[in-house]
Structure 1
Amino acid sequence: MVKTEKVNFLFPKIPTEGKPMTNQKSSGRCWIFACLNVIRTQVMKKFKVEDLEFSQNYLFFWDKASRQIHSIERINYMLEAYIDCAQKGEKPDGRLVHHLLHNPTEDGGQWDMLINLVEKYGIVPIQCCPDVQSSESSMRMGRILNNKMSKEMTREFCMKLQKLVFDGSSEEAIQKTKITMMEEIYRIVSICLGSPPETFTWEYYDSDKKYNKIGPIKPVDFYKNHIKPIYNMEDKICIVNDPREMNVYDKLYTVDYLGNMTGGKMVLYINQPVDMLKKLAMASIQAGEAVWFGCDVGKQFSRKGGGILDLNVIDLDLVFGTSLLNMSKAERLMYGESLMTHAMVLTAVNIENSWGDGDGDKDDWFSEFVYEVVIDKKYIPDTILEVLKQTPTVLPAWDPMGSLAN
């Protein structure tokens, strides 16, 4: 039974939420959508525009491909991982290689991967690189790429590279083979997604009906000259809540082989109690800045009534005499019942009577199923920022904190 009564949709919001409404459709690009939606709220204020959408397909392409050597950013990263595993003596049927082969070209990602992409390639308005069929419905392209990269079909590229390593081939021979592989994948991605612009011109009317024009300009210069001064990706910090006993708070963590760019920024997490995630998200929203967050969106979720995430929205006890909430957050992580699956944007917060009047904690869903928030360092206490100076504890590649939002 779904309960939608007493649901309040009115909260204090950031000044500009952004429009039009965006839709990732049949793809796993939520992390990109959420990032660009957070950025546009600041850009819309600066340029005084009433609607704005940045191209998700543009970043989606560069997550796959690299302009410099016609390679593939994420696939290059994974091919290097296969080589590294072979050099370390990891067996092809071992747990690590098996995990890396599971879905190496999946659509999903993490915040620090977005920093890699935006800092290197910039962003463009959607009209300069619109969605295409293979970005809106990415499954077929993913199957083709995984045919070359993953455990399905042939395990072709991993097999060939690891065989070269096991046979004692030179580094030059290994890299030459890898480049040939990446060129093949680059061709597939370019045909599926199209080629993104090297320069663009953005023309728009502001809220005063005044015509404006920026460009021709390179996407990375557009980001660095016009967007980075008001939304600096490198100033945003990932704060996670991992309550498992072995992963203590006030520590820095990363996950082995989690990334999308060789030589790029490492994925880093500062582990904090969930109440700190709430406090920091609230501070950001009250200051007018939306918050990218990662959660397990499928739990206690009802589309009825506009999409509700609440521990009490589905009453299984009434119908079946049972509950799906018999495990703690830590236990759900440990036993594979929950992990981060989706990224969205927080634009409003109830800052009054947040615990209600006897109906229970109104942010209890956040406590149980939100795992990550991205906050500008200016809202984070110095004591937490000091954690970034630590050498990160490396969690195994298959750890649930290495899950990707899609």
Structure 2
Amino acid sequence: MSFEITANDLQDFAQDYDNRRDSAILENAVTTNGVRAASFNWHSIADDSPVFSIDLSTGDVTDQKQSGRCWMFAALNTMRHEMQQKFNLPDNFELSQSYAFFWDKFEKSNWFYENVIKTAKLDIDDRKVAWLMETPQQDGGQWDMLCALIEKYGVVPKTAMPESYNSSRSNEINAVLNNQLRHDAVILRNMVNDGASEDDLNGIRKQMLNNVFRMLSYAFGKPVTTFDFEYRTKKDKEFHRDSNLTPQSFFKKYVGWNLDDYISIIQAPTADKEYGKTYTIDMLGNVVGGRQVKHLNLSMKDFKQLAINQLKGGESVWFGSDVVKYSNTKHGLMALNTYDYAKLFDTDLDMTKAEALDYGESMMDHAMVLTGVDLVDDQPTKWKVENSWGPKVGTKGYFVMNDAWMDKYCYQVVINKKYLSDDLQKAAAQKPVVLKPWDPMGTLA
């Protein structure tokens, strides 16, 4: 059954538009100012003031600039927060995002080759192959992927490997690297289908990775292997130097986390994901042989309570959300009442969280850090968010997230397992259900 739009239909639509008393003034407002400005709710500024009953000290915000490294910035920020308190580091201290970025792109290239070989006998238009070739590698990632990098390569302070043009503006190197990876995919697929041996495949793959290493070294600088860590303390300006460190020894001495203690919790109320079960995503990862991406799915009530417990314990919380929804960068607002699109257009836009995930209306696209929460009668009303877009947005780079917005658009938090009950720790240890590569819980922040 089909429905063709007729001339009479168009006449009815136009007549309905003309009969509305507010059509002319709304047309002027929206065409002149745009949808967001015309629907902005001025009262949302007062409704979500940046004051919190629990507010951790976290120092200066960072700036990922024109790159998609939010997941990396957020994870390294949670680590530096504790370092700043423990070692009295200055507010502007940062761990090197460029160092992690180099190794992520290098390992993602190998991960891509791995999956190209695994899917080489599938038709080029098979959905898995098409998904793989669409974006061989990108800037985004997940918490477990950052852990896999640290477990293999450690971390370094930003002073040991600072930003480069390409780490701050990654579109150029991404375009060339993806070109290279697709070029290599042709060779690998042909070799597999021509019956090449494992030794032959490994030999050409090593040559390809050597090429990738050289390209990334030109773009980001060759990764540091040893360095001196020098700093002055924040309070008394006392000078410290720690010489001849490696990235692994620096992580062990100055961060000192057991990364196995940190568990990814998701909030996915879709019918295919039972609460209390763990999930992973096919073909998602970066380090071959490294840590697996794994999520424990919980109710929103449990999800938020774990975040609150960790904040009460003095630890910031990595989280992932759909940041573009109803958020205002200038004022640093993430609230459902920031924009009223439905009233502006006199329509119904409401979808449940599950429907938005299932129908592609929403998914995780940005990672940030929870550094505070405002509790009224022990219930959250709003959350303090450390972003990585520099100090010129929000309140010196910090945002206010309304609790209702969290319910609707937050999908992931990372929690130290000491804040989980015994039952939840047992649930987190389950063997994960494997989801399809394009599942929304596999989206990279």
Would you say the 8 A contact 2:108–2:137 is kept in 1? Answer: yes
Q: Which residue matches 2:337?
A: 312
1:208 is displaced (CA, Å) by 2.4
- Give how far 1:14 is off: 4.4
Contact 1:252 1:388 in 2 (8 A): yes
Paired with 1:139 and 1:178, the residues of 2 have a C-alpha distance of: 25
**Deviations along 1:285-323, whole A, 9 cap, x unmatched?**
111100000001011111242x21111110123321125
Tell me whether 1:57 sits opposite 2:123 in the alignment.
no
- Corresponding residue for residue 83 of structure 2: 43
Q: 1:222 Cα shift?
A: 0.8
The question of 1:136 aligning with 2:164 is answered: no
**In 2, distance between residues paired with 1:194 and 1:336?**
38
For 2:163 and 2:344, the matched residues in 1 are separated by: 43
Shift of residue 274 of structure 1? 1.4
Residue type of the alignment partner of 1:183:
N
CA distance in structure 1 between the aligned counterparts of 2:365 and 2:423, rounded to whole angstroms = 29
Q: CA deviation at 1:35?
A: 0.8
Question: Is the 8 Å Cα contact of residues 144 and 291 (structure 2) preserved in structure 1?
Answer: yes
1:339 counterpart SS class: coil
- Equivalent-residue separation in structure 2 for 1:29 and 1:317 (angstroms): 33
1:235 Cα offset (Å): 1.1
Q: Is the 8 A contact 2:56 2:371 kept in 1?
A: no
Q: SS of the residue aligned with 2:243?
A: strand
Displacement after TM superposition at 1:202 (Å): 1.2
CA contact (8 A) 1:18 1:37 kept: no
2:252 to 201, 224, 227: 224
Residues 323, 128 of structure 1: CA spacing in aligned structure 2 closer, same or farther, 3 A cutoff?
farther
Q: Is the alpha carbon distance of 1:93 and 1:317 closer, same or farther for their aligned partners in structure 2, counting shifts above 3 Å?
A: closer
Tell whether 2:26 aligns with 1:2. Answer: no
Matched, 1:395 2:435: yes
1:90 aligned partner: 122
Letter of the structure 1 residue corresponding to residue 418 of structure 2: K
- How many residue pairs were aligned? 382
Which range is displaced more, 269-278 or 313-322?
Answer: 313-322
Q: Which moved more, 1:291-300 or 1:5-14?
A: 5-14
Residue 267 (structure 2) aligns with: 241
Deviations 1:241-269 (A, max 9, x none): 11101110100100001000000011000
Hey, what's the Cα distance between the residues in 2 that align with 1:159 and 1:209?
A: 57
What TM-score, normalized by structure 1, do the two folds share? Answer: 0.91
Over the matched positions of the two proteins, sequence identity in percent amounts to 40
Q: 1:79 aligns with which of 113, 118, 135?
A: 113
Aligned partners of 2:244, 2:191: CA distance in 1, in Å? 46
| Residues 95-120 of structure 1, C-alpha deviations (whole Å, 9 max, x = no match) | 00111111121000001001111121
Instruction: Assess if the C-alpha contact under 8 Å between 1:11 and 1:348 holds in 2.
Output: yes
**1:8 is aligned with what amino acid?**
S
Provide closer, same or farther for how the CA distance between residues 232 and 272 of structure 1 changes in structure 2, counting only shifts above 3 A: same
> Could you say which structure has the larger radius of gyration?
2
Q: Which amino acid aligns with 1:338?
A: S
Aligned counterparts of 1:47 and 1:17: Cα–Cα separation in 2: 13
Q: Is the contact made by 1:18 and 1:40 (CA closer than 8 Å) also made in structure 2?
A: no
The DSSP-based 3-state class of the residue aligned with 1:350 is: strand
Relative to the length of structure 2, the TM-score reads 0.83
Long gaps (5+) in structure 2: 1-38, 382-400
Is the alpha carbon distance of 1:222 and 1:352 closer, same or farther for their aligned partners in structure 2, counting shifts above 3 Å?
Answer: same
